[in-house]
């Protein structure tokens, strides 16, 4: 059944996003502006014009070629690109449809969180685009900063039915090939796949200068394992079935999930990538607030 756009534009969701902006406006502004370019660091600058050198100017800015031609000192003026382009990359594979007791699936949760980030970026007049993937990239929207972009993003996502297997690494490589400029890539997935090719793809993105944030979205049950007795599990992507004694497996399972997240956290830390572990029991506005605060405190 196709989800209606209004499902993600409920008044309470809009209020949550608006409240987040009001409570953390200075945090969000600092977060996004911290990613913006400057003449000396960041993504890129464009030459603007020359002006006459005046006492107090940094001599490093003198254009010596102009001096050689005119015997006068001129300073190169640069104009920074003040907008950071963001892309939401959302996993729409079958595993993202899982929900145990929560009212939202992992995909629904990711969409709400992505909508909040899109809303915040566009309020900063930063272009925001969309890419969706399972085994490969599917729908995409070019980055724009118009207010109507949020509705367009949600319109695309509302037509997405979580299906198919996941090939995160391949999708990230395809995304990298499409990006012509350094961007902020916000990736939403459960990352339940072989981590090695994913890490290689992430490193490739970093080497190209992209800023990357991983939102690792799991269902609450995938984190806490609230099952008892003999339970049959079905893999949503392969349809493989497994019957286990939940009571006997709980401790080892929980430790494995913690190890999985710790490994990603260490890798991301050493690679200059932000890693945000989430589960669907967390209010997305609070989760986003905590992340933004933690990022502000690190920089």
The larger pLDDT score, comparing residue 138 to residue 200, is at 200
Kindly report the pTM of this predicted structure: 0.75
Between CA 80 and CA 88 the distance in angstroms is 24
Other C-beta atoms within 10 Å of 99: how many?
A: 17
pLDDT at position 148:
87
276-283 average pLDDT score:
88
Between CA 292 and CA 294 the distance in angstroms is 5
Which neighbouring-strand residues pair with 47? 78
Domain annotation for the chain: domains and CATH numbers: 5-36+82-298 (3.40.50.410), 45-80 (no CATH)
The larger pLDDT score, comparing residue 126 to residue 236, is at 126
Mean per-residue pLDDT over the chain, rounded: 79
The answer, yes or no, to whether residue 189 has pLDDT greater than 80, is: yes
pLDDT at position 43:
34
Between CA 137 and CA 134 the distance in angstroms is 7
The answer, yes or no, to whether residue 296 has pLDDT greater than 80, is: no
The larger pLDDT score, comparing residue 237 to residue 268, is at 268
Asked which of 20-24, 135-139, 165-169, 273-277 is least confident by mean pLDDT, the reply is: 20-24
Between CA 199 and CA 214 the distance in angstroms is 11
Residue 143 main-chain phi, psi, to 5 deg = -70, 130
Nearest one of 107, 146, 108 to 9, comparing CA atoms: 108
pLDDT at position 243:
86
Residue linked to tokens 């992430």:
202
- Residue 293 binned pLDDT confidence (cut-offs 50, 70, 90): low
188-215 average pLDDT score:
94
Half-sphere exposure of 274 (CA within 13 A, CB side): 24
The larger pLDDT score, comparing residue 298 to residue 210, is at 210
CA distances from 134 to 225, 235, 239 (A): 25, 15, 16
183 Cβ neighbours under 8 A, 6+ residues apart: 84, 85, 86, 87, 143, 210, 211
Instruction: Encode pLDDT of 11-57 as tens digits.
Output: 555 555 554 443 344 444 445 555 444 333 333 344 456 667 666 66
272 Cβ neighbours under 8 A, 6+ residues apart: 206
Residue 49, burial from CB neighbour count under 10 angstroms (0-12, 13-18, 19+)? exposed
- Residue 295 binned pLDDT confidence (cut-offs 50, 70, 90): low
Which neighbouring-strand residues pair with 87? 129, 185
pLDDT at position 247:
85
Instruction: Encode pLDDT of 137-160 as tens digits.
Output: 987 899 998 888 888 888 887 778
The answer, yes or no, to whether residue 248 has pLDDT greater than 80, is: yes
The larger pLDDT score, comparing residue 215 to residue 31, is at 215
The answer, yes or no, to whether residue 237 has pLDDT greater than 90, is: no
206-220 average pLDDT score:
93
Between CA 96 and CA 252 the distance in angstroms is 23
The answer, yes or no, to whether residue 202 has pLDDT greater than 60, is: yes
Instruction: Encode pLDDT of 72-130 as tens digits.
Output: 877 765 544 456 889 999 999 999 998 888 778 999 888 888 887 887 788 778 899 99
At residue 231, the 3 state secondary structure works out as: strand
pLDDT at position 77:
58
DSSP code, position 135? S
């Amino acid at each position: 059944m196709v989800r209606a756009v209004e499902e993600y534009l409920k008044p309470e969701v809009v209020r949550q996003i608006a409240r987040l902006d009001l409570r953390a406006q200075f945090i969000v502004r600092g977060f996004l502006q911290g990613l913006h370019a400057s003449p000396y660091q960041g993504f890129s600058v464009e030459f603007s014009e020359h002006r006459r050198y005046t006492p107090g100017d940094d001599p490093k800015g003198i254009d010596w070629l102009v001096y050689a031609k005119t015997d006068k000192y001129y300073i190169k003026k640069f104009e920074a690109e003040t907008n950071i382009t963001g892309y939401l990359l959302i996993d729409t594979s079958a595993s993202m449809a899982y929900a145990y007791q929560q009212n939202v699936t992992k995909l629904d949760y990711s969409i709400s969180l992505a909508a909040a980030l899109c809303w915040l970026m566009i309020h900063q007049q930063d272009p925001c685009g969309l890419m969706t993937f399972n085994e490969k990239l599917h729908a995409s929207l070019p980055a724009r900063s118009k207010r109507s972009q949020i509705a367009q993003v949600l319109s695309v996502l509302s037509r997405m039915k979580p299906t198919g297997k996941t090939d995160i690494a391949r999708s990230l490589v395809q995304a990298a090939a499409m990006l012509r400029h350094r961007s902020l890539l916000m990736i939403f997935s459960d990352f339940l796949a072989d981590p090695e090719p994913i890490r290689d793809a992430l490193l490739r993105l970093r080497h190209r200068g992209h800023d990357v944030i991983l939102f690792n979205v799991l269902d609450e049950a995938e984190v806490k394992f609230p099952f008892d007795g003999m339970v049959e599990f079905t893999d949503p992507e392969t349809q493989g079935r497994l019957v286990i004694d939940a009571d006997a497996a709980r401790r080892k399972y929980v430790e494995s999930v913690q190890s999985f997240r710790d490994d990603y956290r260490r890798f991301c830390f050493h690679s200059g990538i932000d890693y945000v572990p989430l589960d669907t029991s967390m209010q997305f506005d609070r989760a986003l607030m905590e992340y933004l605060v933690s990022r502000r405190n690190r920089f």
